[in-house]
Amino acid sequence: MHVLGIDPGFATVGYGVLDVAVGAAIQVKDYGVITTPAHTNMERRLVTLYTDLTELLHQWQPDLIVLEKFFFYRMSNTIPVAQARGVILLCLGQHGAAYVEFSPPQVKQTLTGYGKATKQQVQEAVQRELALTTLPRPDDAADALALALTGYLVQRSYVAPA
C-alpha cells in the first residue's frame, strides 16, 4: 500500500510517500517538495502545483492520501495557501483520490503522544519510526512524511464495527 502525505502551501508543497505491507517495515519511497517560482504570476504557480501533483499521483498511485487540515496561517499568506489547497483538492478529485485530513495537533499527538510537541520532536519521531539515518529535510517534506505516517498509523489502528 502506498501512502501519500501532502503538506499544502503556496510557494512550497511538501510530499512524502510511504510503502507499507502487512508484517513488513514501513519504507520511505520518496519525499520532497513542489516549489512554485517566486516572481511568477499566481496562475502559473497554481498550474505548476497542479502539474507536479498530477505527476506524483500517476507515479505512485497512492492507496491512502493524507492532507494537512487547514488549521492556522498568518494573514499575509492565508488566501494564497487556500487557493493552492483548492488546486490540490481539484487534482485529487479529478483523479478520484479519496483523502483524509489531520490537523497539526492531531499529527503531533499521534506521533509523539503530545499535541503541542515541537517540530523537532515530530521530526525525531518520524526519523525513529521510519528508521531514517538523518532528520528528513526540508521541513515541508518532513511534515508530509509525518502526515503519511499518521494516516497509516490511524487507519491501521481503526477496527471497523462488527
Span 96-124, mean pLDDT? 95
Domain at 59, CATH number: 3.30.420.10
pLDDT band at 162 (very low <50, low <70, confident <90, very high): very low
Q: Say if 123 falls within a structural domain.
A: yes
pLDDT band at 157 (very low <50, low <70, confident <90, very high): confident
Between 103 and 162, name the one with better pLDDT. 103
pLDDT band at 112 (very low <50, low <70, confident <90, very high): very high
Asked whether the beta carbons of 21 and 152 are under 8 A apart, the reply is no
Location of C-alpha cell 489502528: 157
Query: Environment class of residue 40 by beta-carbon count within 10 Å: exposed (0-12), middle (13-18) or buried (19+)?
Result: exposed
DSSP string, 56-71: HHHHH--SEEEEE---
Span 128-135, mean pLDDT? 96
Of these residues, 68, 101, 129, 139, which one is catalytic?
Answer: 68
Q: Say if 21 falls within a structural domain.
A: yes
Mean pLDDT of the chain: 92
How many domains does the chain divide into?
A: 1
Q: For residue 76, how far is the Cα from the chain centroid?
A: 22
Q: Say if 41 falls within a structural domain.
A: yes
140 is catalytic: yes
Span 148-161, mean pLDDT? 82
Q: Say if 162 falls within a structural domain.
A: no
Q: Which domain holds residue 146?
A: 2-157
